[in-house]
Amino acid sequence: MYRRLSMVLFPILLIALVGVGVWGYRENQQKNAILIKAENQYQRAFNNLAFQMEELNKQLGNALAVGANSSLFHRKCLVNVWRITSEAQSEINQLPLSLLPFSKTEEFLAKISRFSYHTAVRDLTKEPLSEQEVQVLQTLYEQSKELSSELRRMQSQALAQNIRWMDVEVELASQNMPGDHSIIDGFRTVDKKVTEYSDVDFGPSGMNIFQARGARKMDGPPIDQNKAREIAFAFLQLPEDLKVQVVENGKGTEFESYSVTVVDEQEDGARLNIDIAKRGGKVLYFMNHRDVQESQLSVEEATRQAQRFLEEHDYGNLQAVSYDTYNNTAAITFAEVIQDVIIYPRKLVVQVALDNGEITGLSATDYVLTGEDRNITPPAMSMEEARTILNRNFEVLAHNLALIENDLNEEVICHEFTGKINGGIYRIYINGMTGMEEKIEHIQAADQAAQGV
C-alpha cells in the first residue's frame, strides 16, 4: 500500500519541486535584472554628475576669458551654466544619497543656477557684468574646479576598486555594515568643502534672488485669539453656538497667524478652516470641507457669485483673470485693478461650489502680503508700438495694461495682449518700458470658455 502511495506521490512531489525551482530561478533572474538596472542608473547618474561639474568649470572659465564688453558671449555662457547646474541637480537626485549630509552641495548648485539665470535674462548690452559679478564668477570658477577634481578622483577610485553603487546604498542604509566607504567619504568631503564656500558674496542682485518672497511683513496692530474667533465668525456669518478651536501658528516669526477650525455637528461634522493674520487681523485663507454634488452652475454664474462675495467683504476693485474647474468646483483668480491697470501681484483665489454657488474657499495670502501702496508709472511705449513686437501671425483679441512680477522679482508695467496663434490662446506680456517679452501664458480651456475666446 505504501509502495503504491509513494509511486503516486513521488511524481507529484518531483513536479512540485521542479516548479518551485523554476519559479525561484525566474524570481532570482527578475531580481538580478532590477538590481542591474538600478546599478546602471546609479553609474550613469554619477558619471554624468562628474562630467557636468567639469563642464560647469569650463563655462565659468569661458565667461572669464572674454572682455567685459562681450555681453552676447557672457549671456551664452551664463545660460549654459544655468542649464548645466540644473542638470547636475537632477543627477544628484537620482543617486542614493538621501542618508548623506549632501544638502550644502545641492544648495550651492541652486545658488549658482539662480545667479546665472537672473544675470543672463537682463539686458547685458545696457547693463553689463559689474566688477562684483565678475569677482563672483572668478570665485565660482575656482570652487567648481576644486569640486570637479574631487568628483573625478572619486570616479577613478570607484573604477579602480570596482565599487558597486548598490553596495553603497546598502552601506548607507546599514551604518554598521563593513565595506569600502571611499565613495561615501568622498561625497562627505565634497559637502564639507562646499560648507567653506558659504562666504560667496553674490552681490546686491543676488540678495534679491535668494531673499524669501515672504520678507514682506504683515502690518497692523496684533490681535488675540478671542479677536481671531470674532473675525472668523463675522467673515463667514456663522452662528455663535458653533464649536471652534483656535491655534496659533508661526509664533515668534514675522508671519504669525491664527487657525480657527469650526465643526458643525448639525451638518454631519462638516469642517470650516480659516487662517487670520495675527497682525492686522486680515483673512489669509479659508476652506469649507464639504462634498460638492453634481454641477448645476456654469463658470460665468460661479464668477458672479464670487464677485458678489468679494464686494460684500469690501475687497475693492477686482477683476477675474483666470478660471479653473475640478471636482464640481470653480477656482477663480481675481487681481486688483488700479487706474485701469491689472495688478497681478495683488491677487486672490475664490473657490465656488458648482452645485449651489456657495463660496467654499478663499486664498488671499498674496493679496494681503503685497500691500496696497505702489506707484504706477505709465508705459513709455504705446499699445501700437508694443503690438509691432508681436508675431505677425498673432491675432489680438484683447489688450490691457498690467503690472506683473518678472523673473527678477521686479514689478514692471506691461502691455498684456490676449490672442490666437498656432491653434491656441495666449497672453503675451510686453514690457512697456523696454519692449521685452516678459512672460507668455497659454490660456487653458476653462479660461477660454469663461472669457468667450
| 55 contacts 83 by C-beta, under 8 angstroms | no
| Separation between Cα atoms, residue 52 and residue 275, nearest integer Å | 45
Please name the CATH architecture into which domain 291-336+344-367 falls: Roll (3.10)
- DSSP assignment of 340-373 equals TEEEEEEEEEEEEETTT--EEEEE-HHHHHT-S-
pLDDT at position 211, please? 45
The ranges of the chain annotated as CATH 3.10.450.630 are: 291-336+344-367
pLDDT of 20: 60
DSSP codes joined into one string, 93-130: HTSS-TTS--HHHHHHHHHHHHHHHHHHTS-TTTSPPP
What DSSP character marks residue 222?
B
Place of cell 559679478: 133
Question: Which set of grid coordinates corresponds to residue 386?
Answer: 508694443
| CA atoms in the 13 A half-sphere facing the CB of 97 | 24
User: Are the C-beta atoms of 437 and 414 separated by less than 8 Å?
Assistant: no
How far does the chain reach from its first CA to its final CA, in angstroms?
88
By the 8 A CB rule, do 419 and 425 touch?
A: yes
- 96-135 in b/e burial notation, b at 16+ Cβ within 10 A? bbeebebebbbebbebbbbbbbbbbbbebeeebbeeebee
What is the signed CA dihedral for 231, 234, 239, 243, rounded to 10 degrees?
-20
Contact 301, 357 (CB under 8 A): yes
Q: What is the pLDDT of residue 109?
A: 83
CATH of domain 383-451: 3.10.450
State pTM to two decimals: 0.63
Give the pLDDT confidence score for residue 337 in this predicted structure. Answer: 94
Nine cell digits for residue 283: 483673512
Instruction: State residue 209's pLDDT score.
Output: 43
pLDDT, position 386: 94
CA dist 444 and 323 (Å) reads 8
CA–CA separation, 113 and 87 (whole Å) = 10
Report the DSSP beta bridge partners of residue 411.
405
3-state secondary structure of 258: strand
Distant-in-sequence, close-in-space partners of 130: CB < 8 Å, separation ≥ 6: 203
Residue position matching grid coordinates 454631519: 268
Beta-strand pair 329-338/270-277? unpaired
Which residue(s) pair with 22 in the sheet?
none
Count each helix (H run) and each strand (E run) in the chain, helices first. Answer: 12, 12
Give, as one character, the DSSP assignment of residue 444: P
CA distance 54 to 155: 13
Q: What is the pLDDT of residue 291?
A: 84
Residue 317 in contact with residue 337, Cβ under 8 Å?
yes
pLDDT given at position 381: 94
CATH architecture of 213-289: Roll (3.10)
- pLDDT profile of the chain (453 residues), mean per 10: 57 63 58 63 80 89 80 86 85 68 74 83 81 86 87 80 68 54 70 65 48 55 91 87 82 77 63 88 89 88 94 92 87 92 93 93 88 83 94 92 84 93 89 89 66 52
Smallest CA-to-CA distance from 112 within 57, 72, 178 is with: 57
In three-state secondary structure terms, 210 is helix
Q: Give alpha helix (H) positions in 403-444.
A: none
Burial class (CB in 10 A: 0-12, 13-18, 19+), 11: exposed
Main-chain phi, psi angles of 66, to 5 degrees: -95, 170
Beta-bridge mates of residue 244: 262
Q: What pLDDT does 26 receive?
A: 62
